[in-house]
Structure 1
Amino acid sequence: MRGWGVCTTWHTVGDGEFFCPGCGGDRNYRRRTGHRRLTVLGVPVLSRGTAGPVVECSSCHGHFGPETLDHPTTTRFSAMLRDAVHTVALAVLAAGGADARPALETAVCAVRAAGFTDCTETQLLALVEALAADTGRLPGWAEDFQEGSGTALTIELHEALDPLAPHLAPAGREGILVQGARIALADGPYRPAEREALAAVGAALMIRHEDVERLLAAAARTPS
């Protein structure tokens, strides 16, 4: 019968909600640090250093590394995806498609499918007009499309897409770009400003330039 061993005493230093790799869904967690001790006959007698930090699932009690918290919860991921589609739709419309009814209708359908079920043409058009009037957060956002510089556009797109892109499969990233392409193509061939906007979308989604060109060309050949 073994009379010695090592035990770990855990202390909770934080909690919250995370996506548990063990359970495969959103769960509550405790962020914990531990202290190891050598035990003799069950009595702690000697320190053996620290343990952790770990993230402990409150459901399966599995221990995971702190990097697990970098993965968004299912709820957060859905919101990020919805916001990304909304931002891409606005970008394409502001690049020149807002004055065409087919492009506006296609954008509304995409945004509704992403989760903004109450989105209307009037709402999207008002947002595009606000950008054009410099009442948005970044002055000059809409003008960049027409001038081809895309500086402010790139900042906005990266803020919406950078947190999402690492958690999307390649097909998911490409799907968002193709949605933007369909909005641009709804009223005819790509305008130069629309291509600039879609190139910025592709870069923010970590899609290689040659793949962006391939996807845009394929979307243009596909009947609407």
Structure 2
Amino acid sequence: MAGPRLAGLAGVRTSWRTLDDGEFFCTGCGGDRSYRLRAGRRRFAVLGIPLVPRGDVPPVVECAACRRHDDTGALDHPTTNRLATMLREAVHSVALSVLAASGADSRATLEAAVEAVRAAGYPECDEDSLLERLAALCADPLYDPAAHEPGGPEFPDALAAADHHMAVHIELCEALEPLAPHLAAAGREALLLQGAAIALADGPYEPAERDMLESVGCALALRPADTERLLAAARTPS
């Protein structure tokens, strides 16, 4: 009988301290919950009194609702609210990228882009606001063309065009690449197909539109063969 009694009097205990808190997606609860980021230290204790240090415990994420402990990688998963915001921003960026590639001259393309952005969760979006955003993006080159030596009479225009396309491409990657790991294949394909529908609103793909849609597929971590299949399917009447 002494053994069980001794085991109850002595053992290794972990003392915890809170490093941070916030909101995260708890896989145990299946929804957004508050969390505490906690670090621990193990000590051998007798009669509840900690005595000999036994090492540190790696930080854990503790759900305030179910008390589940996860490693800190759980904080990499966006909350439900954040994921919804990322999806809205992704559709907005895809629409802008297609408009930039098409030149935004087509009324049908512009209307399709506005409709897609509204459906994604921006009901206040209209043609003027979308064109203003596109103009602001294209007016913000990555560097000043005047700072470079011209290579010919058409150099400034060519450089400005390259800057504009690069700025759109960077915004596209910033919106899509962080989102891609959190979407199933069907969700990533749906985003590409939304872009394809905008591009096809006024007829077959223009070369610049197709290039941009291939960039969308790449940013969404789709295989080139899958991107090709989806773009072909989008232009085939159902």
Specify if TM > 0.5: yes
Give the number of the structure whose alpha-carbon radius of gyration is greater: 2
Q: CA RMSD in A?
A: 2.1
2:10 aligns with one of 1, 4, 20:
4
The alpha-carbon deviation at position 142 of structure 1 amounts to: 8.4
The alpha-carbon deviation at position 109 of structure 1 amounts to: 1.3
Q: Which residue of 2 aligns with 1:66?
A: 72
2:101 aligns with one of 78, 95, 104:
95
How far does the alpha carbon of each residue in 1:171-190 deviate from its partner, in whole angstroms, 9 at most, with x for none? 11110000000000000000
CA 141–41 in structure 1, closer or farther in 2 if over 3 Å, else same: farther
> Percent same amino acid at aligned positions?
58
2:213 aligns with one of 194, 198, 206:
198
2:140 aligns with one of 111, 136, 158:
136
**DSSP-derived class of the 1:173 partner:** helix
The alpha-carbon deviation at position 106 of structure 1 amounts to: 1.2
Q: Distance in 1 between matches of 2:90 and 2:159?
A: 17
Name the amino acid aligned to 2:56. Answer: T
* Residues 114 and 126, structure 2, Cα contact 8 Å, conserved in 1: yes
1:80 aligns with one of 74, 79, 86:
86
**Number of residue-to-residue matches in the alignment:** 218
Q: Distance in 2 between matches of 1:172 and 1:52?
A: 35
Q: Which residue of 2 aligns with 1:170?
A: 185
CA 30–142 in structure 1, closer or farther in 2 if over 3 Å, else same: farther
Q: Distance in 1 between matches of 2:231 and 2:132?
A: 27
Q: Distance in 1 between matches of 2:125 and 2:24?
A: 29
Alignment gaps of 5+ in structure 1? none
Query: 27-36 vs 135-144, which deviates more?
Result: 135-144
The alpha-carbon deviation at position 122 of structure 1 amounts to: 1.6
Q: Distance in 2 between matches of 1:47 and 1:129?
A: 62
TM-score (norm 1): 0.90
The alpha-carbon deviation at position 214 of structure 1 amounts to: 0.5
The 5-angstrom pairing of residues 116-155 of structure 1 reads 116-131=122-137, 134-136=138-140, 138=142, 143-144=161-162, 150-155=165-170
The alpha-carbon deviation at position 156 of structure 1 amounts to: 2.0
Q: Distance in 2 between matches of 1:17 and 1:137?
A: 36
Alignment gaps of 5+ in structure 2? 144-157
* Residues 94 and 145, structure 1, Cα contact 8 Å, conserved in 2: no
Q: Distance in 1 between matches of 2:160 and 2:203?
A: 20
The alpha-carbon deviation at position 54 of structure 1 amounts to: 0.3
